[in-house]
């Protein structure tokens, strides 16, 4: 069976599901399935590599430490530069968010 980005398992857990699609040999590609999860209050992501993220399904809101908020709908994508502190404020549960994320040195 060929893997499919849109085949979502039953989400009976409170955690996001992260599936590595391409092992990390300088570039890490993963699918993330969010079912209403958010970044815990007061915490920020601060990654060592750039991240290109595309939202394939659902709706989400990402906030940046500089005060910007970016709402994402299916098909939206953006590059988050390394060390740019950000957090996920909202993800839809119905339908769940399906993200495609690429972590690499992009800039």
For residues 18 and 34, give the distance between their C-alpha atoms in angstroms, rounded to a whole number: 9
* pTM of the predicted model as reported, rounded to 2 decimal places: 0.89
| Count of structural domains within the chain | 1
The whole domain housing 28 covers 17-104
Q: Is pLDDT at 97 greater than 60 in this prediction?
A: yes
70: in domain: yes
2: in domain: no
96: in domain: yes
Alpha-carbon separation of residue 44 from 15, 30, 61, 84 (angstroms): 17, 20, 14, 9
Q: Is pLDDT at 11 greater than 90 in this prediction?
A: no
5: in domain: no
| pLDDT tens-digit map of 24-74 | 888 999 999 999 999 999 999 999 999 999 999 999 999 999 999 999 999
Least confident of 3-12, 16-25, 52-61: 3-12
Q: Which CATH number do you get for residue 47?
A: 2.60.120.10
According to the model, what pLDDT value does residue 96 have? 92
21: in domain: yes
* DSSP secondary structure of 23-86: --SS-EEEEEEESS--PPTT--B--SSEEEEEEEES-EEEEETTS-EEEE-TT-EEEE-TT--E
Alpha-carbon separation of residue 36 from 19, 68, 94, 95 (angstroms): 17, 21, 8, 9
69: in domain: yes
């Amino acid at each position: 069976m060929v893997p499919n980005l849109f085949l979502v398992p039953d989400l009976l857990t409170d955690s996001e599901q992260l599936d590595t699609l391409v092992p990390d040999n300088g570039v890490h590609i993963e699918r993330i399935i969010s079912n209403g999860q958010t970044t815990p209050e007061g915490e920020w992501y601060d990654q060592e590599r750039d991240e290109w993220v595309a939202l394939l399904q659902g709706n989400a809101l990402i906030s940046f430490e500089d005060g910007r908020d970016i709402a994402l709908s299916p098909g939206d994508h953006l590059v988050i530069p390394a060390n740019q502190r950000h957090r996920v404020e909202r993800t839809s549960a119905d339908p769940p968010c399906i993200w495609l994320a690429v972590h690499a040195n992009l800039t």
